[in-house]
Amino acid sequence: MRVIAFVTQKGGTGKSTLAASLAVAAGEAGERVATLDLDPQASLTHWGERRNAESPMVDRTTPDKLSAALHGLANHGYSLTILDTAGIDSPAATAAMRSADMALIPARPSLADIEATKPTYAALAKLGRNYAFVLNQCAPQLKSGRVADASKALRLLGVLAQPLIALRADHQDAFALGLGVTEHDPEGKAAEEIRGLWQWVHNKTKG
């Protein structure tokens, strides 16, 4: 079973919305997906409560129970677990990093967000974990100067996942309805980007 963790020591980067939509896209691609919420705000848990679909499985856990929870999910035939964490340095974030086959670090195209990634990727490097940045909430014109500068800066710090994710209303609308963007508007640009992100993650983590 592969484990993907969304981690960053900054709030407001879109971890929970990305985690939810990536989980749905992975399920649509044939994975048996579980999501575990380690964030005390429980945004992903509340999203799961709004869903009518049975998958992905959504549950909450704590750092001390994470290892056992992952072991149990693997034994029950899940092929992918996605972890959501709070936007702070915490035992939950550290536990998620230790457990992840790949950590995804969302960042908006701003200097504050890029600077805020440094403690996170430094911790991941120290732990010897694979990680990639996800440039999120970009202007729809993905070739704008600010987005291009942010992309270049993140590439200098490590791997930048593809594609870049634009700021689109579909993400918030889908999350509010307990949906992934690929369910909310299957033919939309947001859905296309999330499917692309899942394919990128899948290719980077498959054994």
In a domain, 160, yes or no: yes
Print the domain residue range for 19.
2-199
List the single range of 57-61, 137-141, 197-201 with lowest mean pLDDT: 137-141
Q: How do residues 119-154 score in pLDDT, each as one tens digit?
A: 998 999 999 999 999 999 988 776 667 888 888 888
Counting other chains too, the contacts that 178-185 makes at CB distance below 8 Å and 24 or more residues apart are 178/47, 178/48, 178/49, 178/50, 178/51, 178/52, 179/24, 179/51, 180/20, 180/21, 180/22, 180/23, 180/24, 180/25, 181/21, 181/24, 182/21, 182/24, 182/25, 182/28, 183/24, 183/53
pTM: 0.94
In this predicted structure, the answer to whether residue 38 has a pLDDT above a threshold of 70 is yes
Mean pLDDT of 86-98: 87
Q: Is position 187 within any domain?
A: yes
Among 6-10, 101-105, 182-186, whose mean pLDDT is lowest? 6-10
Q: Is residue 20 part of a domain?
A: yes
The whole-number pLDDT of residue 146 equals 81
In a domain, 206, yes or no: no
The domain total for the chain is 1
| Domain-located, residue 205 | no
